[in-house]
Structure 1
Amino acid sequence: MKKILRVFAALAPLLLAACAPTQLVRNKGDAAALAQQAAREQKLANANHWVLEGKLGVSNGQDAGSGGFTWTQDGNHYEFVFRTPITGKSYRLTGSPDGAELDGADGGPQRGPDAEALMRRALHWEVPLDELRAWVLGLRAQGADAELSFGNDRLPSMLQQDGWTVTYPLWDTTRQPPLPAKVFAEKPPYKVKLAIQSWTMQ
């Protein structure tokens, strides 16, 4: 698997450079920013049916990979398809509360009760899938305490939760409520960067 990662690792710097954030304004938020975020969270609290497409970059500090992805969320069931641009190889992760299955890795389909552990074992990727489901909406994940900072637009610019630092360099403000267009999550040495090209909310 490391050989596969090195094949398309050359493209990772291109994606990560294209996704490089501008200097973000970070403040704890005034009453208006906190009220706007509370309204966003209320409107998106039950958002669990969507199709999300874009570019994904991942790094574990030694190996890196990048490519296109499609994330389909259907309630508690999901399908995440990752496609590498050079080899044309794809990985398909499906899951629900009953467990997860990963297709495309060496050795054939792999199954397990935990999707994050499955990706860690098969691909050597550290991707916080459970939290990312909330973070990709610009929301705090349930469970661990979270700290938010806001930009001048009163939208979240940084979220710190469960040891991860999540930054939001770009928002799609044509939507109501606004949705993130770029989501960068980092927990050294791990990095996960999403550049979102299209949202289809159901």
Structure 2
Amino acid sequence: MPISRRLTLLAFAATLATLAGCATTSTNVSPVAAYRDTIDLNGRLSVNYQKDGKVESLTGNFDWNQRPGHVDVELASPLGQTLATIAVTPQAATLTQAGRAPVTASDIDALTQRTLGWPLPVSGLRDWLQGYAVDARGQRFAASPANNSVTTGDGWRLRFVEWQDANAAQPRPRVIHAERAAAGDIQDLAIRIVVNPAAN
């Protein structure tokens, strides 16, 4: 083969390799939208777990209002009846159930397990609802459609299953699956979170 033709073919192959590399990069780089300290979200929850040898299931709706240093959560039945409200600050968390006196504790996750019977991971949801987490090595994790699963430092296995718009430059989570093998006397805990499109 003439040297000039060989060089032409090599240059062509190099160009293809470069283009292939660019294509691979573009399909994998789709970082989650930037984290916001102020968000208002709502959606649906479904929870399944085992306790004392029995399988328990429940579904409901949630409203999530987050501001710097403060989170308010309302849990409601599928028909819209308020079941519990949660207020979290850096100092303490307070959970109020319908017809009961408010209960306050320093650890919101332990508080929800004690009062609701299962742990609602409010501390983690601050990140998860926006596609972020802290992994088992203590590193900040930012999800994307191409990198959608992580195990957190406190043992939750997360999968960001669906996105509000997977083709957006910076998508936001729509469906999140959170699983944990054990949490106190709870086994095989699985929470499915469906986030409605954000209003802001």
**What TM-score does the superposition give when structure 2 sets the normalisation length?**
0.70
- Alignment of 1:159 with 2:158, yes or no, is no
In 2, are the aligned partners of 1:112 and 1:118 still within 8 Å (CA)? Answer: yes
Distance change in 2, residues 1:101/1:36 (3 Å): same
| Match in the other structure for 1:121 | 114
Q: How does 1:61-72 map to 2 (within 5 A)?
A: 61=50, 62-72=55-65
With 76-85 and 166-175 compared, the bigger mean Cα shift is at 166-175
Give the deviation of 1:88 after TM superposition. Answer: 2.7
Distance change in 2, residues 1:161/1:94 (3 Å): same
SS at match of 1:185: strand
| Match in the other structure for 1:21 | none
Rounded Cα–Cα distance in structure 2 between residues aligned with 1:122 and 1:81: 14
- Alignment of 1:178 with 2:178, yes or no, is no
Give the deviation of 1:125 after TM superposition. Answer: 1.2
> Which one has a bigger Cα radius of gyration?
2
Give the deviation of 1:135 after TM superposition. Answer: 1.6
With 133-142 and 88-97 compared, the bigger mean Cα shift is at 133-142
| Match in the other structure for 2:189 | 190
Distance change in 2, residues 1:77/1:148 (3 Å): closer
With 122-131 and 167-176 compared, the bigger mean Cα shift is at 167-176
Q: Give CA-to-partner distance per residue, 1:148-187, whole Å, 9 cap, x none.
A: 7988x53x32122222111122101276521000011001
Give the deviation of 1:98 after TM superposition. Answer: 1.0
Distance change in 2, residues 1:165/1:178 (3 Å): same
Q: Alignment RMSD, CA only?
A: 2.9
Give the deviation of 1:78 after TM superposition. Answer: 0.7
Give the deviation of 1:141 after TM superposition. Answer: 2.7
| Match in the other structure for 2:44 | 55
SS at match of 2:115: helix
Rounded Cα–Cα distance in structure 2 between residues aligned with 1:65 and 1:90: 12
Give the deviation of 1:132 after TM superposition. Answer: 1.9
Please tell me the residue identity of whatever aligns with 1:166: L
In 1, are the aligned partners of 2:162 and 2:173 still within 8 Å (CA)? Answer: yes
**What TM-score does the superposition give when structure 1 sets the normalisation length?**
0.70
Unpaired segments of 5 or more residues in structure 2? 1-23, 182-187
Question: Sequence identity, in percent?
Answer: 20
